[in-house]
Amino acid sequence: MVDERDEERVVSRAAELEAEEPELAGEDDEAETQAAAILADSDDREAQASSPDRGGGQVEHRHSEDTVEPPP
């Protein structure tokens, strides 16, 4: 069962897809199917990324200055 909040997310993402990919305009079912798949994948990745056992249980906290050489 899809709750109302998830349905709102799907409809919102579908509208964004139709704007990004004009060939989907007017094909609400296809856009909503793609939007649901995108959101499900995103939710899975977010859950995996925030999993405490990812990386051996260590949570890595980086700052932008730790990952790139600052410009002179």
Q: Which residue has the tokens 């977010």?
A: 46
Mean pLDDT of the region 38-66: 74
**13 is a domain residue:** yes
What is the model's pTM? 0.52
**64 is a domain residue:** no
Higher pLDDT, 23 or 58: 23
**23 is a domain residue:** yes
Q: Which residue has the tokens 């249980």?
A: 57
Domain containing 21 equals 1-48
CB 39 within 8 A of CB 9: yes
pLDDT, position 58 = 63
> How many domains would you assign to the chain?
1
Handedness of CA 12, 15, 19, 21 (dihedral sign): positive
- Nearest-angstrom CA–CA distance, 60 and 66: 11
pLDDT, position 1 = 45
Residue-wise pLDDT for 3-49, tens only, equals: 778 888 888 888 887 777 777 666 667 888 888 888 889 888 888 77
pLDDT, position 27 = 67
